[in-house]
Amino acid sequence: MPLFRDGKRILRRSGYVVATLARQLAVKSRLVAVFTGAVLGLIAGAGSLSQASAQGDPLPSWNDTAAKRTIIEFVDRTTTSGGPDFVPPAERIATFDNDGTLWCEQPVYFQLAFAIDQVKALAPKHPEWKTQQPFKALLEKDMKGVGAAGKTGLLQIMAATHTGMTTDEFSRSVRDWLATAKHPRFNRPFDSLVYQPMLELLAYLRANGFKTFIVSGGGIEFMRPWMEKTYGIPPEQVVGSSGVVKFQTGADGKPELIKLAKMEFVDDGPGKPVGINRFIGRRPILAFGNSDGDLQMLQWTVAGRGARLAALLHHTDAEREYAYDRQSKIGKLDKALDEATARGWTVVDMKRDWKAVFPEK
Amino acid sequence: MPLFRDGKRILRRSGYVVATLARQLAVKSRLVAVFTGAVLGLIAGAGSLSQASAQGDPLPSWNDTAAKRTIIEFVDRTTTSGGPDFVPPAERIATFDNDGTLWCEQPVYFQLAFAIDQVKALAPKHPEWKTQQPFKALLEKDMKGVGAAGKTGLLQIMAATHTGMTTDEFSRSVRDWLATAKHPRFNRPFDSLVYQPMLELLAYLRANGFKTFIVSGGGIEFMRPWMEKTYGIPPEQVVGSSGVVKFQTGADGKPELIKLAKMEFVDDGPGKPVGINRFIGRRPILAFGNSDGDLQMLQWTVAGRGARLAALLHHTDAEREYAYDRQSKIGKLDKALDEATARGWTVVDMKRDWKAVFPEK
């Protein structure tokens, strides 16, 4: 059975069901209102950030806790020429999950927020949606109706917004969306809701000869159009889930690549070491995630010889961001948290370890 | 129907049939003998190479013909800051086919030579092969018997030597083979039969801010173990055909990746632009191939906006290497040659355009 691109990942990863759609749309209509406190806290945090930065601290948005010390000590050890844990630059591979690790993933994966907005944007070209579920319900903000369409409905939404177009057209739609859409709670562009401490960590690693990669369950074509600008990570260092793409000659006689409604690869859970092997061909020495979907990537990373660092971001900060773990439908952190505790992996506690969460506006 | 890894590509790409196996094995037993002349020619070429190199020529093994001038002019144009054809470094993506473009592919694809040698190396662990075709025939050098097993037999050989082991074990077997096996005609290690002018081109492009990638029909796991040392191209810049790989916990309790006997992706013909899109996520501005399997990669490359360079290596030198094109079972160059002529792509004539073929021993 062919599976619609990207839809499968979202379903599989979180057990996410259509009820959440309703919540997000509802939250969206409320907009800014509630969280002025959080924004103020953020600005205060950003202030202290600039100060520390001036003093040459490579991770100014990190509090001086064990997590920060572990990271710096690991980088020192692996880059000290002649030391017992030295790693040649070519082998300094660092892999990062994206959703919930580098950017926010609540109240729904941002890729799903994109899909919902795309249905609205594409509606004028699809008059048939006025009478066809789940599109009719979504366009009429009838959340019961969307819910009634269940998983099949969600897959239809993903297929309608992610396939049947060229790769270039899809890239453009992602960029257009990011330029206009706003997060329902923070009222900021989605690609501004990246974690300032993680941006610093990426830059710090690269300054020390590491090559930074994304290894995410998110759609590879959804991530590549913006990650170079936002994270400094070029398309060729982005690994993600993908659908089948077909080469053909377009109506203009030029070759084109068409995105088909058939799943090709799910880069999540046990798929992450597989994706790392397929795309990178080398085992990372550092891996950073935030959910059970990252567990096998961390296991694979630490099973290599020599110095290794496995880290998880624990979302503990409902005021500045969100607090969730074992019970969450999105970004569930349960087994991986147990294993991290048992094996002494680094667990970054957002509330305790980070001075700031998002970059200044 | 599951297809054995890498086998499919070889069959599909060349229409290659088992008869060739016989030829290669026969050639192997004759060894050095015939081609002393070619080797002498090579040494002479290498001498003039060092001379030119001292004068600061970035491509000393290239004769001063149109091909060389086109390449240098293209690099100048795309790297001249402020010029109309300037390309930012991040977008200077150059993709190279491997078999027949960067290293020799005759008398059979080197990966097939590896598979044949592996059957012999693995035979002690497989007593059943003494009575099982096509292994029995291959081990007894009974080429009629191997031929009788047909394509199914070839797929069995590929599966037996490329799957059912961990990715680490397979890498090791490739490295071990390269350290000991010799090419039947040149009596040199296979990874020394790379083209000196192409090594210079790769280095020249990188010195000018290009990022060089392999985009080959060859097996990705077969290529990665040696390409970094040989071409200066790291594993994460190698795109190739692949089989399904599975993450599991090994007998030692450690995670491992097992290579399964199921084809995943054929990076050849229309698969090449698809592979470029999947792995690199950016359209190359320069692509270099040598056969019809590279046609779509070249079409895809030149269809982008701005300055583009599409090039084909034409094997015209039976003395120093091999001469083949439209009728060849391996590396057939027919449609792509017509299109190159029609569209003014660069066709590098090995005999005319190259001073040396292989590096000095």
pLDDT number for residue A9: 52
Residue A292 lies in a domain: yes
- For B286, phi then psi, to 5°, come to -140, 130
Mean pLDDT across the stretch B119-123? 94
Name the 3-class secondary structure at B95.
strand
A18/chain B closest Cα distance in angstroms: 30
Could you give the CA distance from residue B10 to residue A354 in angstroms, rounded to a whole number?
53
Residue A331 lies in a domain: yes
Is the pLDDT reported for residue A260 higher than 60? yes
Total structural domains within chain A: 3
Residue A259 lies in a domain: no
CB contact (8 A) between residue B167 and residue A277: yes
A301/chain B closest Cα distance in angstroms: 10
Say if residue B162 is in the same domain as residue B122: yes
Residue A254 lies in a domain: no
Say if residue A232 is in the same domain as residue A340: yes
B144/chain A closest Cα distance in angstroms: 37
The boundaries of the domain holding residue B210 are 57-107+193-240+267-361
Per-residue tokens: B166: 């961990």
Query: In chain A, what percentage of residues exceed pLDDT 90?
Result: 79
CB contact (8 A) between residue B236 and residue A279: yes
Cα nearest neighbour of B300 on chain A:
A255
Could you give the CA distance from residue A238 to residue A257 in angstroms, rounded to a whole number?
19
A273/chain B closest Cα distance in angstroms: 7
Q: H-helix or E-strand containing A310?
A: strand A309-316
Is the pLDDT reported for residue B26 higher than 80? no
User: Residue A161's closest CA among A150, A170, A151, A153?
Assistant: A170
Contacts of B220 in chain A (CB under 8 A): 278, 281
Q: Which residues pair with B314 in a beta bridge?
A: B349
Per-residue tokens: B54: 């001292």
Contacts of residue A201, defined as CB under 8 A and 6 or more positions apart, other chains included, come to A59, A71, A288
Could you give the CA distance from residue B313 to residue B333 in angstroms, rounded to a whole number?
9
Say if residue B86 is in the same domain as residue B122: no
Could you give the CA distance from residue B68 to residue B348 in angstroms, rounded to a whole number?
9
Say if residue A213 is in the same domain as residue A304: yes
Q: Which residues pair with B354 in a beta bridge?
A: B62
CB contact (8 A) between residue B255 and residue A282: no
Are A244 and A260 in contact by the 8 Å Cβ rule? The answer is yes
Say if residue B199 is in the same domain as residue B61: yes
pLDDT number for residue B55: 54
Mean pLDDT across the stretch A143-151? 82
Q: Which of A116, A149, A183 is the last residue of a domain?
A: A183
Cα nearest neighbour of B228 on chain A:
A90
Contacts of B213 in chain A (CB under 8 A): 236
Per-residue pLDDT reduced to its tens digit, B217-245: 999 999 999 999 999 999 999 999 999 99
pLDDT number for residue B226: 98
Could you give the CA distance from residue A138 to residue A143 in angstroms, rounded to a whole number?
7
Q: Among A172-181, B27-36, B144-153, B273-282, which stretch is predicted with the lowest mean pLDDT? A: B27-36
Average pLDDT, chain B: 87
Residues in chain B: 361
Residue B282 lies in a domain: yes
Contacts of B236 in chain A (CB under 8 A): 93, 211, 213, 236-237, 279-282
Mean pLDDT across the stretch B70-91? 98
Q: Which residue has the tokens 């008869």?
A: B19
Per-residue pLDDT reduced to its tens digit, A302-353: 999 999 999 999 999 999 999 999 999 999 999 999 999 999 999 999 999 9
Mean pLDDT across the stretch B163-175? 97
What is the distance of C-alpha B260 from the center of its chain? 23
A287/chain B closest Cα distance in angstroms: 15
Are B216 and B99 in contact by the 8 Å Cβ rule? The answer is yes
User: Which residue in A211, A257, A299 is closest to B277 by CB distance?
Assistant: A257
Say if residue A99 is in the same domain as residue A204: yes
In a mutational test of the A interface, the residue from B165, B236, B239, B274 whose CB has the highest number of chain A CBs within 10 Å is B236
Cα nearest neighbour of A245 on chain B:
B274
Q: Which residues of A touch B (CB under 8 A)?
A: 90, 93, 167, 211, 213, 220, 224, 228, 234-238, 242, 245-247, 254-255, 257, 270-271, 273-274, 277-282, 296, 299-300, 303
Per-residue pLDDT reduced to its tens digit, A79-110: 999 999 999 999 999 999 999 999 999 999 99
Per-residue tokens: B277: 């899109």
Per DSSP, helices labelled H in A106-149 are 110-122, 135-139, 143-148
CB contact (8 A) between residue B245 and residue A274: yes
Say if residue A136 is in the same domain as residue A66: no
Q: H-helix or E-strand containing B173?
A: helix B167-180
Q: At what angle do helices B220-231 and B167-180 cross, to 10 degrees?
A: 50
Could you give the CA distance from residue A300 to residue A280 in angstroms, rounded to a whole number?
13
pLDDT number for residue B16: 42
A156/chain B closest Cα distance in angstroms: 23
Could you give the CA distance from residue B293 to residue B290 in angstroms, rounded to a whole number?
8
Instruction: Please name the amino acid found at residue A271.
Output: G
CB contact (8 A) between residue B255 and residue A224: no
Per-residue pLDDT reduced to its tens digit, B34-69: 333 333 333 333 433 333 344 589 999 999 999 999
Contacts of B242 in chain A (CB under 8 A): 278
Per-residue pLDDT reduced to its tens digit, A36-94: 333 333 333 343 433 334 458 999 999 999 999 999 999 999 999 999 999 999 999 99
Torsional sign, CA A229, A230, A231, A235: negative
Angle at A230 between CA B303 and CA A88, to 5 degrees: 90
Say if residue B205 is in the same domain as residue B348: yes
A225/chain B closest Cα distance in angstroms: 9
Give the count of beta carbons closer than 10 Å to the beta carbon of residue B168.
Answer: 11
Question: Predicted confidence band at B24 (pLDDT cuts at 50, 70, 90)?
Answer: very low
Give the domain CATH number at B355.
Answer: 3.40.50.1000
pLDDT number for residue A28: 41
Q: H-helix or E-strand containing A261?
A: strand A255-265
Residue B246 lies in a domain: no
Say if residue A199 is in the same domain as residue A136: no
Q: Which of A159, A183, A207 is the last residue of a domain?
A: A183
CB contact (8 A) between residue A277 and residue B237: no
3-class secondary structure for A156-183? HHHHHHHCCCEHHHHHHHHHHHHHHCCC
Instruction: Please name the amino acid found at residue A325.
Output: D
pLDDT number for residue A19: 40
pLDDT number for residue B15: 36
Residue B260 lies in a domain: no
Mean pLDDT across the stretch B110-139? 94
Cis peptide preceding B235, ω within 30 of 0: no
Q: Which of A39, A54, A69 is the last residue of a domain?
A: A54
User: Residue B115's closest CA among B237, B257, B18, B240?
Assistant: B18
Q: Among A1-10, A61-70, B178-187, which stretch is predicted with the lowest mean pLDDT? A: A1-10
B46/chain A closest Cα distance in angstroms: 30
Say if residue B154 is in the same domain as residue B231: no
Q: Which residues pair with A286 in a beta bridge?
A: A94, A309
Residue B256 lies in a domain: no
In a mutational test of the B interface, the residue from A257, A263, A268, A299 whose CB has the highest number of chain B CBs within 10 Å is A257
- For A289, phi then psi, to 5°, come to -140, -165
Say if residue A271 is in the same domain as residue A198: yes
Mean pLDDT across the stretch B19-37? 37
CB contact (8 A) between residue A281 and residue B220: yes
Say if residue B331 is in the same domain as residue B300: yes
Instruction: Please name the amino acid found at residue B285.
Output: I
More confident residue, B153 or B190: B190
Contacts of B235 in chain A (CB under 8 A): 280-282
pLDDT number for residue A55: 54
- Chains A and B: how many Cβ contacts under 8 Å? 82
pLDDT number for residue B14: 39
User: Residue B222's closest CA among B294, B114, B123, B297?
Assistant: B114
Cα nearest neighbour of B213 on chain A:
A236
CB contact (8 A) between residue B238 and residue A281: yes
